Homo-oligomer: A and B are copies of this chain.
């Protein structure tokens, strides 16, 4: 194994920017599926491809990590960030696959709302990750992390409200089972974005 003894900051930042880009692509794809009320074959194919590219981006980071002796920030933070970013894309792939498996078609205003918030959170995540390159972005990165935390709280309330309405209104238990899982999965995506914000936060604190 050859070690790079000099910090290969360049590589890690480029790799993370690529990886978070796939998360944004996945969030946009999910929002479109929600807006058109159909997880069609084209969207499923597109999402599968994004998820695959995201996997490769994560593996490139793990490989780089294993080959690099001095890293721009703690090894465990690099590892955690790559895992969490991968989880965001994976979960977006899972949710649109569930829409297909459960044959949920037709525009659902709740899902459109959730997809919009998820896209906002993933875009804030992208700002945070891009900002890590340079310490002069510190304040902007912190602002993005606060925004991601705020959106997670919004998502929590939204899910509770949607579940309340669902249990109130939906009398068919099988339909209820499907939407209950979709709303809970949607909220889980915002949880994972918040985990990403925590890792970025922790990197910032250590470099203070």
What is the CA–CA distance of A180 and B178 in the complex, to the nearest angstrom? Answer: 11
> Is A205 a contact of B63 with CB atoms below 8 Å?
yes
CB distance from A177 to the nearest CB of B (A): 7
Contact among B97, B180, B206 for A177, CB-based, below 8 A: B180
A173 to chain B: which residues have CB within 8 Å? 173-174, 177
Interface residues of A in 1-25 (CB under 8 A from B): 1
> Is A176 a contact of B176 with CB atoms below 8 Å?
no
CB distance from A163 to the nearest CB of B (A): 5
Of all chain B residues, which has the CB nearest A161?
Answer: B101
Given contacts A62-B202, A97-B160, A173-B177, list 19 more A-B pairs with CB under 8 A. Answer: A1-B207, A1-B208, A62-B205, A63-B205, A66-B202, A66-B205, A66-B206, A76-B76, A101-B163, A101-B164, A101-B167, A102-B163, A102-B167, A103-B164, A103-B167, A167-B178, A173-B173, A174-B176, A177-B180
CB-defined A-B contacts under 8 Å, sample of 27:
A1-B206, A1-B207, A1-B208, A62-B202, A62-B205, A63-B205, A66-B202, A66-B205, A66-B206, A76-B76, A97-B160, A101-B160, A101-B163, A101-B164, A101-B167, A102-B163, A102-B167, A103-B167, A167-B174, A167-B178, A173-B173, A173-B174, A173-B177, A174-B176, A176-B177, A177-B177, A177-B180
